[in-house]
Chains A and B, each alone.
Chain A
Amino acid sequence: MTLLNRGRLITLLGLASLAGVYVRALAFTPTERLQGAAQKIYYLHVPAAIWTETAMILVGVAGVFYLFLHDARLDRFAAASAEVGTVFATIVLTTGPIWGKPIWGTWWTWDARLTSMLLLFFLYVGYLLLRGAVADPELRARYSAVLGICGAALVPFIHFSVYFFPTLHPQPIILKPSAPSLPWSMLVTWLYALAAFTLLYIGFVVQRYALSLARDAAGGAERAHG
């Protein structure tokens, strides 16, 4: 099976899992007392947010390896991860307000977690803009690696602001130092959602990588015949 098709398959699996998560969330998981049905969006929201951050860290890690190894595949992966990260950030930034409106009455709140997603979004946009502005592939890979590494280093700083800044956002329930404080069935649904998003991340990155590989190969063929 070609790389692209493998990617499509994984994505399909991810989407199917996500649908499954939703069925489970809507039909089989208890509704949260304080926030009602609107809380269900949390299953979509938080895993996407986790992957948005992780994707940026992976861009940085790929950057470090690129600077040592100069392997174009690492750069292609970084670009794919960044694009997927942008998509996920957009998901969070749109689902966050959808959730927020019924609970807080406003579309946007400057709470720390939404703000950190916004910052990550800007980080990704900057990264993609930089890539767009450099024509030479080697220079582009090198500059992207530098920006990616700085971006990855910034992620913990963005994250720590969540803990320090007084916020409206519900305090981290799962990703906090002590044990998760969710009832069991909700936790399971959440874990399924995380797995679904993991599949989606991998699926999208593989597809994007395959497309990028095809484009570079076509460019090479042009060079050989041109």
Chain B
Amino acid sequence: MLSADGLRHAFGRVVALDDVTFRLGPGQTLAIFGPNGAGKTTLLKVLAGVIRPQAGSAQVAGGRRAIGWIGHHSHLYDQLTVRENLVFWGSLYGLARARRGARVVAVLERLGIADRADQLVASLSRGLAQRVAIARALIHDPPVLLLDEPFTGLDLAATRELRGLLAELRGAGRVLVLATHNVDEGVELATDVAFQRRGRFVHFAPRGAAGPAAIAAAYQRAVADA
């Protein structure tokens, strides 16, 4: 459903992707751990079709329409209401008008913000705005989710909620790719784990039964080697 073959990309002298290759099928969740600057965001952007890699290729079955994206930014328009934002993004993702209204309500309810539908995004607290951002990513019910440091800035309760939501989404045969620099956040969700350092995948394997501690230790070792 999602594949990468020999991806290479550099920004001037900085290598962001160095021969990255992998394949993911339905039901798999890949957690990519790596320090800042390792190239995790670049990898996600190549998968999403935003960056054209200098070498190699990446495919996502269904194209961009099949991707739900949570990036570093919320991609919400401050001066539009929550509903207006969701309708805008929903229609870009091809949601027909008939289905759209119901979908917006459903996703708002799932995230517990249905009562804020007609408020301007600018007037929401950060935590609520983040929920709207997640709603935006899910509006078209995508089979593939690409998440770039989605837990950043979330408090403990919100983190737990997001983890629960992701676990639920994972269950329906979706493919998730989650990039983070914090091992604790993504480990339990993952079926497969990769460590990325200076553009390279220095480890890529099924998680199996390894718990957070084991993974964290392996990560430290992988990252410590120069």
Contacts and interface: CB of A to CB of B under 8 A. Distances in A.
Contacts of A137: 12
Interface residues of B, number: 4
B54 A223 contact: no
Contacts of A136: 11-12
B13 interface: yes
A223 B10 CA distance: 12
B13 A138 contact: no
Interface string B1-33: 000000000011100000000000000000000
A135 B13 CA distance: 11
B114 to A, nearest CB: 43
Interface string B39-75: 0000000000000001000000000000000000000
Nearest to A139: B11
A136 B11 CA distance: 6
Interface in A198-223: 223
A33 to B, nearest CB: 60
Nearest to B14: A136
Nearest to A135: B12
A135 B11 CA distance: 10
Interface in A124-169: 135-138
B17 to A, nearest CB: 14
A71 B54 CA distance: 11
A223 B12 CA distance: 10
A136 B12 CA distance: 5
Contacts of B12: 135-137
Nearest to A226: B13
A135 B12 CA distance: 8
Interface string A99-140: 000000000000000000000000000000000000111100
Contacts of B54: 138
A138 B9 CA distance: 11
A189 B89 CA distance: 66
Interface of B: 11-13, 54
6 contacts: A135-B12, A136-B11, A136-B12, A137-B12, A138-B54, A223-B13
